[in-house]
Amino acid sequence: MFDDIHVEKLKVSAPKAVMLFLQQHDAEMPCDFQTKDLDNIMAHYTIQANGQMMVDEYVDTGKTEPFVPLSLIDNRSFLERVYYNYAFPRSKTPVRKKVLRKVLKKVNFTKTFVMYGGEQVAGRYLSIEYTVTVIKGKVKSIVYLKHDLESEKDAKTRNAQSAQFTLQMDQSFAAHRRLKSRWYYPVLKEILNPAIFFTRLLVQKICSKVMHCSSHWHGV
């Protein structure tokens, strides 16, 4: 886990080589960082231009709104839905969730932590780290720690692999969409899916029974 840190219009130092590389490609320093030295609860912090460090908090507005969990969006076959409704009956009470409002709250801690960020510039990945000192919620210093700039060779290899992966995923999704557009897909879904599903349940039951019997076996 980690926490996010967004730096607002706060100038930070970097080696000349890094600044020159960014200038050559009309790019800017990363302003979004992460750290593992704070709460590690996926919190979102902001370092404002005046150095004040803030954290996002969500307060209850006292209101609720309809909510449909992903688990209730059921695209399974008819027989699978019948099985699950029988085996795991659900409450018919409509689900609602609280409406929360995001507020920025000043932090008041005194800590020194490392934040790291990255940016892809001209196809090459630049990562950079800083040591941040905060005293009673005010950032007193952001000191450059280290950076790493991906070589052109490594970047070319990574980008080629990424493009190949993206192409394969696109082809896979396209093939699935073509299958779903066929006239026989609903029949296939209602026959093949339940057959595989209940076969798996049967195998699991048999394996569970074998494990139970073998656990009581003490030899002859």
**Angle at CA of residue 161, ends 160 and 162, nearest 5°:** 90
In this structure, are residues 114 and 34 in contact, taking their beta carbons and an 8 Å threshold?
Answer: no
Is pLDDT at 69 greater than 70 in this prediction? no
Report the pLDDT value the prediction gives residue 97, as an integer from 0 to 100. Answer: 86
Query: Residue range 145-174: average pLDDT?
Result: 95
Q: Same structural domain for residues 187 and 142?
A: no
Residue 72 confidence (pLDDT): 55
Question: Structural domain of residue 86, as residue ranges?
Answer: 3-150
Please tell me whether residues 119 and 186 are part of one structural domain. no
CA of residue 164 relative to chain centroid, distance = 22
**Is the same domain home to 14 and 107?**
yes
Residue 32 lies in a domain: yes
Say which range, 62-66, 91-95, 184-188, has the weakest mean pLDDT.
Answer: 91-95
pLDDT in tens, 100-155: 999 999 999 999 999 999 889 999 999 999 999 999 999 999 999 999 999 999 99
The Cα 190–Cα 182 span in angstroms is 14
Q: What's the pLDDT score for residue 73?
A: 61
- Extract the tokens encoding 80: 């699978």
Whether residues 209 and 112 fall in one domain: no
Is the model's pLDDT at 168 over the cut of 90? yes
pLDDT digits (tens, 9 = 90+) for 37-55: 998 889 999 999 899 999 9
Q: What is the pLDDT of residue 165?
A: 97
pTM above 0.85, yes or no: no
| 80 vs 195: CA distance, rounded Å | 10
Query: Which of 150, 174, 196 is at the close of a domain?
Result: 150
Residue 70 has pLDDT above 80, yes or no: no
Query: Rounded to whole angstroms, what are the CA distances from 3 to 114, 125, 212?
Result: 11, 21, 45
The residue among 93 and 180 whose pLDDT is bigger is 180
129, 150, 171 - which closes a domain: 150
Number of domains in the chain: 2
